[in-house]
Structure 1
Amino acid sequence: MDPVQFSDLLTQTGDEAVGFLTGLLRRWNLYQIGLMLAAFAAARLLGKLASARFRTWVRSKEGWSKLQLRWLLAVEKRMWLVIWALILWGIYLVMQEVTWPSRSYLIRIVAEIASAWVFVSFAVQLVRNPFLRRIVRWSLWIYVTILLLGAQDRTMAVLDTFAVEFGDFRLSLLAILKALVVTALLFSFARIVATQTSSRIKENEDISPSMRVLLVKVLQITLYAAAFFIGLKAVGFDLTGLAVLSGAIGVGLGFGLQKVVSNLVSGVIILLDKSIKPGDVISLGDTFGWINTLGARYASVVTRDGKEYLIPNEDLITGQVVNWSHSNDFVRLDIFFGTSYDNDPHEVRRLAVAAAASVERVLHTHSPVCHIVGFGDSSVDYILRFWITDPTGGLTNIRGNVYLALWDAFKEHGISIPYPQREVRVLDGPALAATPPE
């Protein structure tokens, strides 16, 4: 910045501030300040009393949305500010009737500022993030205060003096603030559009689940990238300079972010080839669960015990994945059991099929089957096969239910499940004595 220009601007601003403060020392201005301070003290006292009753009333309400509760909480926290603004407007209207308008202009300005602060406090409740909501609230409070005081031109001139220059490019604090505001508004608009469009895409049953996810992510990337570049353009940044930066970023990605880029590309491939989609039931190593979400870097797999595994997309591409519901929802399960040699195998097979068919989740369109698979040392070995269409409901529990049905059926019809049998030969005395010692 130019030191001479900044010094002149600072001197002029200081002279105006001194003149403003000197004007406040006039008698009627002091009266107005005294009335505003008294109104402020009364508002704080009344606000504390009203907040307690208002909090009790809010706690009695049930079933309200989070947005409604945030607004009520904002009312409770800013109760004193609302009361102060109302008292100031009341004093201003009374003074307009009993004295000259020039003797109440300070009260009017402060009442306008207090009212604007109240409006901002309620409006920012639309911002969900608490930290971002606090930043937006304070920024708007500062902006409306400067605007109502008529100091916007002077403030912009001061901010514009803080600048750095790179050749023909000049970057000032004012330009940065403008870019931040424009970018924030564009990002908010992009977020709203992306949310509304994403909900419509997700509700469209004509599009496959994987393509829905892909379309949503492409839409989000496009909108947010456009908001970012438009924000840079608002500063006056030359976007052609990003070509060199993008080249450097490409080199960095090639060396340091190979895994990240691999996961991103793998995620796109998964969405395009539809090998895995949200809702599919998969097995990857010891992990068995269903796909909850497909992210840009990982897939969220939720197991039956409530654990959520974040599996990198690259592992889903390069590893062996069992997709229980890839082409259809039919899943065949096998269980093994054995019965005594004294039982009729035809009767055992009939009872096993009937027991499996009696379980709720077992399909009747694909009838269970039972086959002999071998003659063991102690039992005749069988395999029982049945089908289900809801693997997300669990596999262990359905196997357990079928085993329990087999137990009940075998117990009712006298079918025995043998213990391992071993033959023990006891030698008589002379034979034992004839055995040479070791």
Structure 2
Amino acid sequence: MQSAGSTWFFLQKTTDTGVDLSRANEWLPFTVPDWSLDLLAVGVVVLVAWSVSRLLVRLFSRRIARSFRRPSLTRLSIRGIRVGVFGFALLTILRIFGFSLGDITLQVTVLTAVLGVILAPIVSSVVSGVFLLADQPYEIGDMVELADRDQRGFVEDITLRYTKIFTLDNTFLVIPNGTIRERDVINYSAEDPRTRRSIPVVVTYESDVSAARDCIEGAARRVDGVIEGGPNIRVGAARYPAGPTCYIDEFGDHGVRLVLRYWIEEPYKLLATRSRVQTAIREAIADIDVEIAYPHSHLLFDDTSGELRVRQEASGTSPADRPAETDGDASPEPPS
């Protein structure tokens, strides 16, 4: 008796022609095992599914990219096409082995309920992935920073389960979406890649503060990558000068604290640009009457500070030969 797989592979019975194709072994000069026909049918289904998925992706990938204009949604849609094709192929394979559609639906329902309890964290990540794709806090290619880890990188991929970040240290971070939604993520590439940075500079009270401010602004303006000037940059409802600006922040214990604010064109070399700006400031200040302040302390003693007694002992003197200590201002008698 032929199995359901071999019957399906030979198109079962053709009622139009009245030919019973299930008896395929009678047509062949040798006997073919039923399980080999089933495996051959499975291989054909997988091959066809793979070919169809590649064809559909090639036909619709550009149209999908033009429709969404977001790399994350484009990749998700392409993955959906592949999953749909192979899901249909899986149903076909189950039919080969004799499973009816009702049995498949029942088993899928039971399996989904069991996995929903066991795989709750994964389900949570998938739900969070849907919200991430809808809220758009970041996109593929954006430079982001994890505030709690002080680590920057580029978003490499966004799926329904996780977000992959390619760090500036040439490593990968794979963070579940359920976790990353609870963390503070700084996006340096959102809307406008221009980023403002600040550098504190403390000068002494004896320095010419006005000359120091002008010198610091000019030094920062000459650094490559720093925006020299131009129209004000809009941040929300406020507008800020595009060129470097130096303000008096506070009068500290050791000097006047100045703060330089400058905008950089791209946020990809924050540390290198900051280093160049600080180097330019140091070289520029050395040519004017301005001195960088640093913490220092002075200890002063006067008549009201009390007395400090000092006793010098000869080297090699044993403790028994040392003069006895006395209280008050009395001095020990000299030895006879």
Fold in common (TM above 0.5): yes
Q: Is 1:224 paired with 2:224? A: no
The number of equivalent residue pairs is 274
Give the aligned partner of residue 27 of structure 1.
none
Q: Is 1:426 paired with 2:301? A: yes
Match of 2:166 among 302, 321, 327: 302
Structure 2: runs of 5+ lacking an equivalent: 3-25, 231-241, 310-326, 329-336
**1:288-336 Cα distance to aligned partner (Å, 9 max, x none):** 2120111332111112111111111112223222222233323221111
Distance 1:205 1:281 in 2: 24
Give the aligned partner of residue 250 of structure 2.
374
**1:143-196 Cα distance to aligned partner (Å, 9 max, x none):** xxxxxxxx99345x4212xxxxxxxxxxx4412321222222222331343256
Give the superposition deviation at 1:434: 9.6
TM-score (norm 2): 0.72
- Residue identity matched to 1:307: T
Distance 2:194 2:170 in 1: 24
Q: Is 1:314 paired with 2:314? A: no
Q: Is 1:397 paired with 2:272? A: yes
**1:387-422 Cα distance to aligned partner (Å, 9 max, x none):** 22422x232222112111111111232421122232
Give the superposition deviation at 1:352: 1.4
Give the aligned partner of residue 32 of structure 2.
158
Distance 1:398 1:205 in 2: 38
Q: Is 1:180 paired with 2:54? A: no
- Distance change (3 Å), C-alpha of 1:354 and 1:220: farther
Task: Give the SS at the match of 2:193.
Answer: coil
Give the aligned partner of residue 144 of structure 2.
282
- Distance change (3 Å), C-alpha of 1:431 and 1:180: closer
Task: Give the SS at the match of 1:247.
Answer: helix
**1:15-55 Cα distance to aligned partner (Å, 9 max, x none):** xxxxxxxxxxxxxxxxxxxxxxxxxxxxxxxxxxxxxxxxx
Q: Is 1:245 paired with 2:120? A: no
Distance 1:427 1:253 in 2: 81
Distance 1:331 1:154 in 2: 78
The answer as to whether partners of 2:56 and 2:81 remain within 8 angstroms in 1 is no
Give the superposition deviation at 1:277: 0.9
**1:371-393 Cα distance to aligned partner (Å, 9 max, x none):** 111111111101111122422x2
The answer as to whether partners of 2:246 and 2:259 remain within 8 angstroms in 1 is yes
Give the aligned partner of residue 345 of structure 1.
209
Tell me how large the CA RMSD over aligned residues is.
2.9
Give matches, 1:356-371, under 5 Å: 356-364=220-228, 365=230, 366-371=242-247
Equivalent pairs: percent with the same residue?
A: 27
Task: Give the SS at the match of 2:82.
Answer: helix
User: Structure with the greater relative contact order (CA < 8 A, sep ≥ 6): 1 or 2?
Assistant: 2
Give the aligned partner of residue 293 of structure 1.
157
Give matches, 1:13-412, under 5 Å: 153-154=28-29, 157-160=31-34, 172-194=35-57, 197-198=60-61, 201-202=64-65, 204=66, 207-233=69-95, 237-284=99-146, 285-286=148-149, 287-364=151-228, 365=230, 366-391=242-267, 393-412=268-287
Distance 2:99 2:72 in 1: 38
Task: Give the SS at the match of 1:395.
Answer: helix
Distance 1:253 1:408 in 2: 65
**1:201-252 Cα distance to aligned partner (Å, 9 max, x none):** 45x4971233323322322322332333344445553222121112222222
In the TM superposition, structure 1's runs of 4+ consecutive aligned residues that sit over 6 Å from their partners are: 434-437
- Distance change (3 Å), C-alpha of 1:227 and 1:356: farther
The answer as to whether partners of 1:379 and 1:418 remain within 8 angstroms in 2 is yes
Match of 1:417 among 292, 303, 318: 292
- Residue identity matched to 1:229: L
- Distance change (3 Å), C-alpha of 1:268 and 1:433: closer
Distance 1:344 1:368 in 2: 19
Q: Whose strand fraction is larger, Structure 1's or Structure 2's?
A: 2
Distance 1:243 1:282 in 2: 43
Distance 2:269 2:167 in 1: 9
Give the superposition deviation at 1:363: 1.9
Distance 1:408 1:176 in 2: 77
- Residue identity matched to 1:371: Y
Distance 1:431 1:396 in 2: 49
- Distance change (3 Å), C-alpha of 1:241 and 1:331: same
Distance 2:270 2:305 in 1: 56
